[in-house]
Homo-oligomer: A and B are copies of this chain.
């Protein structure tokens, strides 16, 4: 199998070059189709498949495995998950829910994830995005990393805009768009046969309609065996013949052990703004988190992060003791806005904090357009977004990451707005 779009992704292009070389046949990566809309899928692999490094890439010194399982029972019936075990971390992807990441465990212990009141991995056919006044999305939401988009994300409600035919039109948008409830068309495992023996899961998710958006997500999750790091490299491509708006938000959700009373967000900040009236009074504490607080009303803050000389920012969540952290590094040009969602309610109600890089803030698209935060793509063009994730274990590692955040901030003082921006 060859690359269909070698120009989109940097690693893809690199592999394509290697694969095309007649001198390196043994180094062509191992590939296995996990899910495909092709009619030649082996029916024996529909319910489960398992790939182990000892068979696929015996030369890799760290044993890894990739397992696809179709879940059964309740609302998860028919959901496919892909579990990547890099020998150190276990990353569970959900192709059936837009290639989200359910959770990440480190040597079997959950490190990235949260305890949503929704306990199954819900199949999109059980979700009605229109229910509860456009908030049906909440009935399936329990991922660590849940994409919001691609045509829109943010609050439900009426958007008024000019469509591609030049007509003024309205659309009743649902919370956070459709991508988390769209299944992947293609999922492919690619494993390099030479150091660093990188494992990649590549997926494609279509969000297409006649008389509307034709957006395509190409996503790669990759990790090096034995590491505590992984990266997500996404491209959103406009496959239609007209210019098309899009919005992407990486709704990344942390519960214990990273979230606890006294956990803190460390981020290089240009400005912080409360995104709702209720959030305004606590804006000075936007970066501090409470323990489980039954009845807590959610607060949301919008951050413009600062970047280093290479254009990248680093955002760190660390626990109270300062000996456990998780960080995201990404280019602010690709994802200029960062949202902090504090939902530190009681444990039974979903104690969680979201740290959410995006192309925009999660207001209704109508509001975001007014503020100039809705990007668009000409026909055939792509927007690329890469986020590098790392888990930091031990005080030294956490301090190292915190120091990098501080260096990006330098002597620039964050501007903290006490009032929300006008929403209309």
Q: How far is the CA of A35 from the CA of B120 in the complex (A)?
A: 14
Give the contact-size bracket for chain A.
Answer: 35 or more
Which residues of A, 30-60, contact B by the 8 Å Cβ criterion? Answer: 35-39, 41, 43, 46-48
Q: Is the CB of A138 within 8 A of B183?
A: no
Contacts of A386 in B (CB 8 A): none
Q: How far is the CA of A139 from the CA of B181 in the complex (A)?
A: 14
Contacts of A6 in B (CB 8 A): none
Contacts of A172 in B (CB 8 A): 133
Tell me whether A183 and B77 are in contact in the complex, defined as CB-CB below 8 angstroms, given that A71-B37, A209-B139, A347-B241 are known contacts: yes
A372 within 8 A of B: no
Q: Taking the full assembly, how many copies of this chain does it contain? A: 3
CB distance from A42 to the nearest CB of B (A): 10
Q: Is the CB of A241 within 8 A of B348?
A: yes
Query: Per-residue CB proximity of A92-135 to B under 8 Å, as 1/0?
Result: 00000000000000000000000011111001111011111101
Nearest CB to that of A241 among chain B residues? Answer: B346
Tell me whether A183 and B75 are in contact in the complex, defined as CB-CB below 8 angstroms, given that A43-B47, A209-B138 are known contacts: yes
A22 within 8 A of B: no
Contacts of A69 in B (CB 8 A): 39
Query: Per-residue CB proximity of A178-211 to B under 8 Å, as 1/0?
Result: 0000111110000000000000000001101111
Query: Per-residue CB proximity of A327-362 to B under 8 Å, as 1/0?
Result: 000000000000000000111111000000000000
A17 within 8 A of B: no
Chain A residues engaging chain B, CB cutoff 8 angstroms? 35-39, 41, 43, 46-48, 69, 71-78, 116-120, 123-126, 128-133, 135, 138-139, 141, 164-165, 170-172, 174, 182-186, 205-206, 208-212, 214, 239-242, 294-295, 297, 345-350, 379
4 tightest A-B CB contacts, nearest first: A241-B346, A125-B125, A74-B185, A37-B73
